[in-house]
Structures are given as C-alpha cells and as structure tokens.
Amino acid sequence: MSFAWSLPFVAEKITEMLFHLIKAEEDAPDDPEIDLPELSETEKRKLSWTRRDSLSDAQNASIHLAARLHHHMMTEAAEGREGDGTKNEAEEETPEERADRLRKKIKTVSRMMLMFKTLREENETIISLKGVCPGHRLAPGLLLSGRDALKNELEKFTEARSMDLENERMPSDEKETNPVTRSEGSTS
C-alpha cells in the first residue's frame, strides 16, 4: 500500500503555512469585516455560483466569499490598479494602509484555513465511513444528507462495534467441556 496525501489535507497545510508567513504580529486588533461589492445576477451566473444544498450554510458562505474575492481581484486587475508594480508618489501607501491591507490578507487566509480544515475533516469522515460499509460504498443519498448524517452513521457503527466487542474476542485457552479424542471417535 502506498502513501497518499488527500487534497483537503494538503490544501489545509498550505494555507496554514501561508497564514503564518503573512501574519505580521500576534496581537493584532480585530478589524471590521472586509467590504466587498455584492455580485450582480449576471456576474453570479458568469461565475457559476449557486447555493448547494449538500453544503452547510458556512460552506456556502465561504464559496460565495471566494467568488466575490475572485471577482474583486479580477476587476481591480482589469482596471489597472495592480499588476504593473509601479506607483506614483501620490499613490504611495501609508504604513496604516499597508498594515490594514496585511490584516485583510491575514483574515482572508484564516477563512480559507477554516474552510480547508472543514473539507479535510469531512473527507476523513467519508473515508472512515467507507471503510466500515459493505463493499466500501456509502448508502445511496448519504452524502446528500449532509455532514450530520455522515457523523450519525459513523457513530451508529462505532456504537454497534463497541456492543459487539465481546463477540470479536479470540477464544480463551480453557479446555472445551466435551473434547473429542481419537480413542472415543474410533469404532474398531
């Protein structure tokens, strides 16, 4: 059996490293939420963002935030606000603006970290549940039921296994009550 990394695990670890790389100071004060413009209906269709019933509200909010961030970055790049790397003296950034921008980046990366942590945990739950299901297949519709249904199903199996633990033990070394010997079994 070869060693394999799951994509949610790798993504979570990369965002953790990114978070620690760009984190400026440990005691940064809490900032208000990042204000991004809402997407219009045509932009939502263009980005193919729709609410998915299989995801929780927090996960749908994370996906919506990522779509808004992507759109915001693309519109800034299209307007020429970033990308060329040259700034006039009038556009020079003050230390407060730079610190604010860095704090916003840290908040964004920490949200991504939380999202990837959730993805990794759900991936691990699905893998462990597949390991205990017959044929390594989940029941039809179980994934669509959501996170709570997966955890409930795994808890049911764990409870049933703990109840059946005595039956799974190895037989004891005690002699059986009616041992059959060769002399008793022969009829000569």
In tens, the pLDDT along 65-96 reads 777 777 777 777 666 655 445 555 456 778 88
Predicted local distance difference test score (pLDDT) of residue 98: 82
Predicted local distance difference test score (pLDDT) of residue 184: 54
Placement of tokens 């992507």 in the chain: 70
Predicted local distance difference test score (pLDDT) of residue 80: 63
151 residue type, one letter: K
CA dihedral 93, 104, 46, 41 (to 10 degrees): -100
Whether the CB-CB separation of 154 and 46 falls below 8 Å is answered with no
Whether the CB-CB separation of 171 and 81 falls below 8 Å is answered with no
146-155 pLDDT, tens digit each: 888 888 888 8
Predicted local distance difference test score (pLDDT) of residue 26: 46
Question: What residue ranges of the chain have pLDDT lower than 70?
Answer: 1-3, 22-40, 43-52, 77-91, 174-188
Give the separation between CA 122 and CA 9, rounded to whole angstroms: 11
Q: What tokens does 51 get?
A: 């609410």
Predicted local distance difference test score (pLDDT) of residue 27: 44
Predicted local distance difference test score (pLDDT) of residue 165: 84
Single out the residue of 44, 31, 51, 27 nearest to residue 111, CA to CA: 31
